[in-house]
Homo-oligomer: A and B are copies of this chain.
């Protein structure tokens, strides 16, 4: 399976991300408030690009049943789950300017570019690669994290694990592997590049919250 191959290929970076200091700390509810603020302010900046990318996945899905799964997940992210950031940024007293137009850190800019390129390219396999890394790597770290008392940190973990989220990641893996099986070498190379870049950005994103 191409997804397993790519995860092996990126194993060192992947592990450094899912075993990041941030994961241990959030699992105990002990992320330094300044770090958590930076992390969530930056993450908030690509929610819109992520929603747009999910829209592109709906538009480019190869069949009606896969399209419906993408569309339902999109409805969830845009609906019930959409107020997390408002509540979290309120709880952390984040000023208005940092909600609308913060200075973007390097990995944030990198993610925006990667997601916009995937969306704009109209290549379903590349869209899937970026979505897959974002969701699968988050499931992997969230499953390793504890269950803290503090509500912002707990909610951020719980948004990325549990049966429904696991099903969504399984769907993405199956779709990714099915799509990749139909690609030629150039197509697989494009997908591999997007996958690898996304894993590197996930690690850099955690690091950047501490370096800022």
Instruction: Assess whether B68 is in contact with A51, with CB atoms less than 8 Å apart.
Output: yes
Could you say which of A60, A75, A119 has the most chain B C-beta atoms within 10 Å of its C-beta? A75
- Of B55, B76, B79, which one neighbours A58 at CB under 8 angstroms? B55
Instruction: Assess whether B56 is in contact with A59, with CB atoms less than 8 Å apart.
Output: yes
Which residues on A are within 8 Å of B, measured CB to CB? Answer: 47-48, 51-61, 63-64, 67-68, 70-72, 74-79, 82, 119-120, 122
Instruction: Assess whether B71 is in contact with A61, with CB atoms less than 8 Å apart.
Output: no
A51: chain B residues within 8 A (beta carbon): 58, 64, 67-68, 71
Bound-complex Cα distance A74 to B12 (A): 38
Bound-complex Cα distance A55 to B66 (A): 13
Rounded to whole Å, the gap between the CB of A189 and the closest CB of chain B is: 24
Q: Which residue of B lies closest to A73 (CB)?
A: B75
A54: chain B residues within 8 A (beta carbon): 58, 71
Rounded to whole Å, the gap between the CB of A171 and the closest CB of chain B is: 14
- Of B59, B72, B77, which one neighbours A79 at CB under 8 angstroms? B72
Instruction: Assess whether B75 is in contact with A78, with CB atoms less than 8 Å apart.
Output: yes
Instruction: Assess whether A71 is in contact with B78, with CB atoms less than 8 Å apart.
Output: yes
